[in-house]
Structure 1
Amino acid sequence: VPLWTDVADLPADVDLASVAVGSAVQGGPGSALVLALLARGIHVLQEHPAHPDEITAAARAARTAGVRYRLSTHYRHVRATRGFLASAERLRARSPLVHVDAAGPVHLLQPLVDVLGQAVGGLRPWAFADPVARPRELTALETRASPLTAIEGVVGGVPLSLRVHDELHPGDRDNHALLWPRISLASEAGVLTLADVHGPVTWSPALHTRRDAAGRLDLDGDPARRALPRLASW
């Protein structure tokens, strides 16, 4: 396998490069490598994450060179996530989303937002409030500070509660995450959850108990609904 250690040494017939080197936001030379490749007229696919300023600079460089630049959106193509997104589309067609609960590690926020936008049908309108500080009466009782930061927002017009694991090991960025991206879509029909980008996907239908003529809850319920599983996963 040919090995080149400098972009200037690449042969003229290289059309596309995949850059899986840490970006500047991770303390790596990945983004500088991206710019050098684009300047050579080479299309580039860059591994996430990258700082917004790095992405903007790469997009401008690509436009100047007349080539394409993309940041990887790998996780939307994983089997379990594809199934979740297909189910989310069917759910939205039957019952509008009323709330989204999401969580993930800081270094996977970009793919989390990508999947989130797909799940709710689009990112706009969107906005985020400042992080929510934990009350002193709670922090005074904690044996250690919480590694999760809570943020309220709106994505695609749907209210969002987001929790971010905002710790990153400087010497081992690919490990030590407490959780991977997870998303729960709440509707009046039930809650669809992607527990992890690799699955499982679960569906928990909303509980609805009919009332009798006197207005009392019918605890026996509808036989047809009783036959449905309370929790389905795949």
Structure 2
Amino acid sequence: MKLGKTGKRLLKKAEPRMATLIHAMLRQSQQVENTKQTLTERVQQLEQQVHELTRQLEQNSQNSHKPPSSDGLRKPVSLRPKGGKRGAPVGHQGVTLSPVEQPDVVIEQPLSTCSHCAASLKEVPAVRYIPRQVFDLPMPRVTVTEYRAEEKCCPHCRRLQHAEFPQDVSAPVQYGSTLRAWMIYLNQQHLLPLNRIAQLLEDLTGTRPSEATILNQIR
């Protein structure tokens, strides 16, 4: 708080004790004003922090680049209108497993006895076949392919030579490109450590590559 010209003139005419008291009150008033300004600035900073934290809390995998795993235990927003019936919303594009025209394996289930009168049906031709298809994965196993390069002696120059191996077959014993691709995929896409990759491949195929081998494929 500052005094005007009139205030300064009156202050000079005042008694020394009164002048000292007025000066002290002016200093205290200025300190209060400074504190008020500091608190106002601090409140503005806190409001900005609250706004930023609120914005971050409202972010999820649906409205930002954050992965779904960061959503925590928050209940997903329901797409079904309130009071609506259970089941998929009207117009929802579902995914249904459909049969294929050319299955890989066909297994016929013979009918040899009538379930009503116990008569034999072994020689009776089928009227039709009722199909049911099962989609499944075959049990994985490692297949070993041996390449044998012919070695011959030239009858003209007497030089011994052999045929070329495929470009990706560069060692007497090695892992193939498919198994190497799985090692890279499990590590880079699913972030599995080397020992977990080795254990998984052993559980699925019976073959356990060393961690050093897996590391060489990833590099």
Q: TM-score when scaled to structure 2?
A: 0.17
Greater helix content = 2
Greater relative contact order structure (CA < 8 Å, 6+ sep): 1
Q: TM-score when scaled to structure 1?
A: 0.16
Greater strand content = 1
